[in-house]
Amino acid sequence: MAEAAAEKAYYRFLVLFFNCLLTFGSYFCFDIPSVLQDQFQGNLTCPNGTHPNGTEQNGTAGCVEGLGMTPEEYNLLYAIYAWTNALVVIVAGFLIDKLGNRFGVFVFSFLTVLGSSIFALGSHFKGTPYLLPLMLTGRLLFGSGNGSLTIVQNRITAFWFKGKELALAFGLTLSFSRLGSVLNFFFTQQFESHFGVQWTLWGGTFLCVLGFISAITVSVLDRVGMKQLGLDGVIQLESKKVRVQDVRHLPLRYWLLVLTIMFFYNGVFPFVADASKFIQDKYPGYSQQAAAYIAGAVYDSSLVLSASVGILIDYVGLRGVFALGCAVLTLPVFALLAFTFVPPLVSTIWLGITYSFAAASMWPSIPLVVPQATLGTAMGLATSIQMIGIGLSNVTVGRILGTKSSELKIPLWRWQQMMVFMLANTVACIVTSIGLNVVDKKQGGTLNRMTKHSLPEPVARQPGDTAPLLNEGEDEGSIN
């Protein structure tokens, strides 16, 4: 009998390509405020003798015309995104397990379009009481869609690459997402200088629309592939068995892995959100555009390294060891930023490297310790806890940096306190990752098992593949 197209390698990589595009536009939109932080916190109007681009006629620093937000209000844009994720993704993950990937990919991709549209619309109401509520509502809906969309994306990747190039697939997914982030840091400020804040935000919405088109495409490919593999009905039957009570059976390794992820990301996302402003305030001679480029180096490194790091981890395994190593090697990053004047590009590239290894080792480990049928719920819960941590970190950073929008430069001691806070999260990440490795060793060492290179790749999935990704005994080493 002829081999079905869905059983061939090109088909799963075609699914992966459109799956990667799901979050390209939404990741671009997510960090637009970071690049335009000066404009978001700028004055509503500039007095005579200054230019709205932030330079006076004599060339010194001057007024920046913008939306008039305070640092606390600005960081609230990131906090509400994180909190929305924390609340929504748990329910979203359960619904995805119950109703399937195709339901999730359509609904949550549409929410990113709707949220980014309302966010862009809110910018037209600067100087009115409607600006902040509209923009927060937009971020709320955007966060509801983007965080949940990542769960569907990971679930699709885990299914199509089970027992194959799992870490590589996760790495490529991250690379495409971070490509959106990188392009944002490279081009958004230039685009804004020509077209203004409002049209820049609408440009981000357009990219989310492209993601919605990709969602429809990957939904069709997933449906056709499932039918060719004869698994559509089987997976629907397994999904009906999923219960909320299944959360109680998630293993200790899962919870330690989730805490490790949360503490690591607490030091990455809140830092990147304020990095451009930090670089301009602490290090002399950096323009807004140059500072955005340097802040974006975190994602540049991730974009370049994610795929190759995924191949490496697929080859050697040792996921728990990599998770611990990432946390330890991140400590010097925030120490350099807090206590030295070493060029900031060193620290942002360094953080991007550790972030690449962390993302390729931590997230692909979740499918190794939970059943396939409850993977959406497990991913949703992990994302929720991660976002609770990030949201609290954003609020804490906003409090540390102050509440006055009129300050041209935030005092250096405030930035130093922020970096010490980042250091504290990294230390907590080291503690939880040590616990993860200890527990994993006691329970068979699944995460740190060296990969079996010589085993042939299975020809096709069988209905039994809807069972846990790592069954007891014979299947325990099938994914690395």
More confident residue, 47 or 192: 192
User: How is residue 48 annotated by DSSP?
Assistant: T
Q: Percent of the chain, pLDDT > 90?
A: 26
| Residue-level pLDDT at 395 | 85
pLDDT bucket at 452, cuts 50 / 70 / 90: very low
In the chain, what's the furthest Cα-to-Cα distance? 79
**pLDDT greater at residue 131 or residue 460:** 131
Average pLDDT, the chain: 80
**Residue 470: pLDDT band by 50, 70, 90 thresholds?**
very low
- Tell me the mean pLDDT in the region 79-92: 80
* DSSP element (H, E) containing 54: strand 53-55
pLDDT tens-digit readout, 14-37:
988 999 898 899 989 988 988 888
User: What pLDDT does residue 475 have?
Assistant: 34
Question: Is the pLDDT confidence value at 431 over 90?
Answer: yes
DSSP string, 285-309: T--HHHHHHHHTHHHHHHHHHHHHH
pLDDT at 474 over 80: no
Q: State which H helix or E strand residue 164 sits in.
A: none
Does the global pTM surpass 0.95?
no
Q: Is the Cβ–Cβ distance between 414 and 400 less than 8 Å?
A: yes
Tally of CB atoms within 10 A around 185? 27
Between CA 77 and CA 89 the distance in angstroms is 18
Note the pLDDT of residue 375.
Answer: 74
Q: What percent of the chain has pLDDT over 70?
A: 82
CB 88 within 8 A of CB 147: yes
Over range 134-156, report the average pLDDT. Answer: 88
Q: What are phi and psi of 123, to 5 degrees?
A: -65, -20
* Contact yes or no for 317/450 (Cβ under 8 A): yes
Q: Where does the pLDDT of residue 387 fall: very low under 50, low under 70, confident under 90, or very high at 90 and above?
A: confident
Range of weakest confidence among 94-108, 167-181, 221-235, 246-260: 221-235
Lowest mean pLDDT among 78-87, 281-290, 367-376, 458-467: 458-467
Give residue 444's pLDDT: 81
In this structure, the chain runs to a length of 480
Distance, CA of 171 to CA of 182 (rounded, Å): 16
Q: For the residues 154-165, what does the mean pLDDT come to?
A: 79
The pLDDT of 92-119, averaged and rounded, is 86
CA pair distance 477, 208, nearest whole angstrom: 38
Residue 230 identity = G
